[in-house]
A and B are shown apart, each in its own frame.
Chain A
Amino acid sequence: MEILDQISQALQKGKAKDVKEMVQAALDQGIAAQTILVDGLLSGMGVVGVKFKNNEVYVPDVLIAARAMKAGTEILRPQLAADGVKATGKIILGTVKGDLHDIGKNLVGMMMEGKGLEVVDLGVDVPAEKFIDAAIEHNANVVCCSALLTTTMGEMKNVVEVAKAKGVREKLTIMVGGAPVNDAFANSIGADIYTPDAASAAEAAVAKVLEWNAQA
């Protein structure tokens, strides 16, 4: 679809205002929010990501593209919420300490909100303690950690350890995700679930929240 292509192009150039307008226009045309997100916004961000790895663009370019992405997703947010199955429960979400990657995490958060979950987003560079403290404070049963660097994967293990130390491990489902993470890793650190992308993360989270709610 042409407008989705245009959204992707505008995002790549960091043209936040254009992205906002075009996303709204796409919604008005009747295109599903999910489609606009994936084929318009994410596709554009993907191109930026590849160019960044190839050193064709640099951090500042990524910053303005991310800003345009944020602007676009803000418009989509209410629509995404309206389109989904409702589940009620709280999720603690964050990127672990030492890691600043947040685009993927933000996406996961949005997908989860789209499914009716209440997401407590702790941001990036979050120490293990903070994850667990937030879970306790908010009475949340599901904690989701993201890491994109192999070095920061070790922090995920800390999250599990801190949960044990604070005696709340059995009350929590710990989910992990990120490019270098996989099932074997999740198992080796004692996490509960590994999901490879935002969509499956949101689904798994919903399933778990419903489970916890049923137990309560």
Chain B
Amino acid sequence: MDVIDFGANLGNDNFDFSEAIKAADTFRRSTGVTCRVVDSVGETVYISADDKSDVAVCNLTAKYFYCGSDDCGNNETMANICLNSHLYGCYQSERFGGKYVFFCPLGLTNWASPIVCDSTVEGAFLAGPVNMVEPDEFFTDDFLSKYGLTHTAVKEIEQCIKTVPFVMPSKVNFYSELLYYIAKAVSDDTFQIIDERKAKGEQQSEIAEQIKFLKSFSPNPEYEPYPMEKEQELLELIETGDKHGSQRVLNEILGQIFFASGGSFEVIRSRVLELVVLLSRAAIKGGADSQQIFGLNYTYLGRINSFKNIEELTYWLSGIMARFTDQVFNLTDVKHVDVIYRAVDYVRKNYDRRITLEETAANVYLSPAYFSRIFKEEIGDNFNLYVNKIRIDAAKKLLLNEKIPLVDISTMVGFEGQSYFSKVFKKMTGVTPGKFREARGKIRGDAGARRLK
């Protein structure tokens, strides 16, 4: 669900800002930069500042600009202008991948990151102000004169600005990254919506770059041939399980499709459909389980008509490609290629019943001891652990389907007893099957972390 509610949550009595407040203090104490916590309407919940001087320039500006009557030129007090600027920064941070660096009305640098809980933006962190240029370089343009301030007031504000800390642009960039991680930690895992947006935005940027590149070569896109060699390159990269390379080439192909189609959604959708089929063939050729792939295809293709815009469609395609690529073994590295391939295939087909090392070894004509050793070498897990992983993955999917009774799931995935199933499940995921189903698959990050102790 890609809908985030910003600004609708007035009052905020429900959201507990105490973690955020602690984090703001930590940020300020380690970086020296003032950090605020604001709520979903931009009102400051807490400011972490060394002393009053950290926010002196803000207070001073507000003091000079406050006018209580309707005679103010824009019918807006400066305090409102600042508030709006903060709110805007927080809003943009939510829309553009979790961090946003901007100039406040005075021209000072701030950055924001959103706090997300239950798919709602409950507030944000706002750090700053800092100055990214030397104090003598700084000038407030004609902004201050626009508001009809007296000469003395302007001088006083400019003096005060000299006390704002100077931070180099490169450092500001990393401070904004830091704030992003902090916001992510304080949020719950629905923060992933922000990350998805960032990933989507990045993909679209790459595609746009590709289009720009193509434009420089040929102004007549209708005559551009379909990039067959690129397609071939893509398939080869998938067959070898190269995730990054395949993503890069996919974006190039999408750029070309986009360019040639003139932005027609229907044309693009057809091309994408063709690509899904091709990708699945490549994955199978690379060693992925054909039944799994075809099963996935069936589900995927059913969804293709549900997308309304190109961004959703291309992002979804990337996801599919990543899934397919994951399914592929990098067989060139595996010494006992055929054995492992067959053994894994056997496990995937038989995990839902009692399956033993001995039986699987026999299936590939090896002694159990020898098989166990090479399995562990090549896969990295011992046999039983691997089988359980497959089973728990399957169980997770079944748990998300409310129609299937909890008591049946353990046997459906091949465990003999309910209690053993629960134990293994909890060990691998951090929660019991029941809790997993209750949480509808959304587990808070720290739950798993606590269990690690």
A residues at B contact (CB < 8 Å): 14-17, 53, 57-61, 63-64, 67, 71, 98, 100, 148-151, 153-154, 179-180, 182-185, 187-189, 196
A-B contact pairs, 14 of them (CB 8 A): A15-B133, A60-B109, A60-B176, A61-B170, A63-B103, A100-B92, A149-B201, A149-B205, A150-B207, A150-B311, A151-B201, A179-B208, A182-B215, A196-B215
In the bound complex, how far is the Cα of B170 from the Cα of A63, in angstroms? 11
Q: Which residues of A contact B101 (CB under 8 A)?
A: 59-60, 63
Main secondary structure of the interface of B (DSSP, over half): helix
In the bound complex, how far is the Cα of B212 from the Cα of A178, in angstroms? 9
Contact between B96 and A150, CB atoms less than 8 A apart: no
Contact between A60 and B173, CB atoms less than 8 A apart: yes
Q: Which residues of A contact B215 (CB under 8 A)?
A: 179, 182, 196
Contact between B222 and A184, CB atoms less than 8 A apart: yes
In the bound complex, how far is the Cα of B130 from the Cα of A63, in angstroms? 13
Identify the 10 closest CB pairs spanning chains A and B, nearest first. Answer: A184-B262, A60-B169, A58-B173, A60-B172, A151-B311, A185-B263, A179-B212, A180-B208, A180-B211, A61-B169
Q: Which residues of A contact B137 (CB under 8 A)?
A: 15-17
In the bound complex, how far is the Cα of B204 from the Cα of A98, in angstroms? 12
A63-B132, A63-B169, A182-B219 are contacts. A187–B204 as well, Cβ < 8 Å?
no
In the bound complex, how far is the Cα of B262 from the Cα of A14, in angstroms? 38
A14-B132, A53-B209, A60-B132 are contacts. A182–B259 as well, Cβ < 8 Å?
yes
| B448 in the interface (beta carbon within 8 A) | no
In the bound complex, how far is the Cα of B264 from the Cα of A153, in angstroms? 11
| B139 in the interface (beta carbon within 8 A) | yes
The chain A residue sitting closest to B173, CB to CB, is A58
Q: Which residues of A contact B49 (CB under 8 A)?
A: none
Q: Which residues of A contact B264 (CB under 8 A)?
A: 188
| B144 in the interface (beta carbon within 8 A) | no
Number of residues from B at the complex interface, CB < 8 A = 40
In the bound complex, how far is the Cα of B231 from the Cα of A176, in angstroms? 31
Q: Chain A nearest CB: distance from B70 CB in Å?
A: 23
Q: Chain A nearest CB: distance from B170 CB in Å?
A: 7
Q: Which residues of B contact A184 (CB under 8 A)?
A: 221-222, 262-263
In the bound complex, how far is the Cα of B267 from the Cα of A184, in angstroms? 13
Contact partner, B258, options A59, A63, A180, Cβ 8 Å: A180
Contact between A149 and B204, CB atoms less than 8 A apart: yes
Contact between B258 and A150, CB atoms less than 8 A apart: yes
Contact partner, A188, options B139, B172, B263, Cβ 8 Å: B263
Contact between B263 and A189, CB atoms less than 8 A apart: yes
| B309 in the interface (beta carbon within 8 A) | yes
Q: Which residues of B contact A98 (CB under 8 A)?
A: 95
**B304-360 contacts to A (CB < 8 Å):** 309-311
**B127-164 contacts to A (CB < 8 Å):** 132-133, 136-137, 139, 141
Contact between B262 and A188, CB atoms less than 8 A apart: yes
A53-B209, A59-B101, A64-B133 are contacts. A187–B170 as well, Cβ < 8 Å?
no
Q: Which residues of B contact A154 (CB under 8 A)?
A: 309-310
Contact between A182 and B309, CB atoms less than 8 A apart: no
In the bound complex, how far is the Cα of B267 from the Cα of A127, in angstroms? 26
Contact between A179 and B169, CB atoms less than 8 A apart: no
Q: Which residues of A contact B309 (CB under 8 A)?
A: 151, 154
Contact between A150 and B132, CB atoms less than 8 A apart: no
In the bound complex, how far is the Cα of B133 from the Cα of A192, in angstroms? 43
Q: Identify the interface centre among A151, A188, A196: most chain B CB within 10 Å of its CB.
A: A151
In the bound complex, how far is the Cα of B173 from the Cα of A60, in angstroms? 6
Q: Which residues of A contact B209 (CB under 8 A)?
A: 53, 179
